[in-house]
Amino acid sequence: MSWYRNTVWFVKGLREYTRAGYESASRHFNPADVEVDVAGRSFLVTGANSGIGKATAKEIARRGGTVHLVCRNKERAEVAKEEIVTETGNQNIFLHIVDISNPKEIWKFAEKFRNEHKLDVLINNAGCMVNNRELTEDGLEKNFATNTLGTYIMTTALLPLLEKAADARVITVSSGGMLVQKLNISDLQSGSGPFDGTMVYAQNKRQQVVLTEQWAKAHRNIHFSVMHPGWADTPAVRSSMPDFYKRMKNSLRTEAQGADTVLWLAVSAEASKLPSGSFFQDRQPVPTHLPLAYTHSPPEDEEKLMQMLEEFSQKFKSVSPG
């Protein structure tokens, strides 16, 4: 069945995920949706020093928002911050150096952030695709640590702050690649069988969809969404998927086109009217499963994922400073 999923997904991608797909979809966009003033609202963007994260942060800054950039690399982050401030004239841009693959760092950051700032919108954009099985200093598989556990801890640690905000939102940047994966809770760290970084990444992205759906049920006063940016020309795609990039580079979306739906979900009034927990592509909620792909999971597996991640997260919280 995996060949069917992969083939259907790729054909769908050629039609919808490329620059041409964006240009076709954007004919139906209402420009007024994102022509808004968000001064006084606070946004946190992870992985904000390049690609879709930086493009999103820049557009929010243009609209007057206070933007917290959460980045791993201090040098690149400072360059990105300077670029955003210079291009937008917005001085309310703050930098935080955090490695999203390090759960102890995330807990420490979130605890400090909760005491010092307010937060209206969290954008979980940081991610990685490591093509060989690599462990972090905590013994966690790197993709899982960053894409799934890092997203889980950042979100749950900041929920108390978001609960205080009016019109609070959490947006997670996922991938259409999750359509080829059924949730697998038996091997979260990809320790058995051959390691395929692309499929591990796709599994992590399926996990993000499940997280979003579960959070939406549990926290009714926060609007949760997860989205696919399409196939965009970003540094991450170039470095992690060189063969795909070489084949598709003339058809890829720009970073701004990839970031468009993230921005729309973050600032537009229209987005918050749509059901919380939805998966979005080009400003529209879309199905989270391909037809006949058999990727649906039993509810008990989805609940078990949340339980397992909570256990992981608490283990690292107990040894964090603060």
- Active centre residues (catalytic): 201
Q: What share of the chain is helix, strand, coil (3-state, %, to 5)?
A: 50, 15, 35
- Strand 278-281 versus strand 168-173 pairing type: unpaired
| Cα dihedral 207, 217, 150, 51 in deg (nearest 10) | 80
Kindly report the number of other CB atoms within 10 A of residue 251's CB atom: 15
**Could you give the angle at the alpha carbon of 200 between the alpha carbons of 197 and 206, nearest 5°?**
145
Q: What's at 231, amino acid-wise?
A: W
By CB atoms closer than 10 A (0-12, 13-18, 19+), residue 57 is buried
The DSSP element (H or E) to which 61 belongs, if any, is helix 51-62
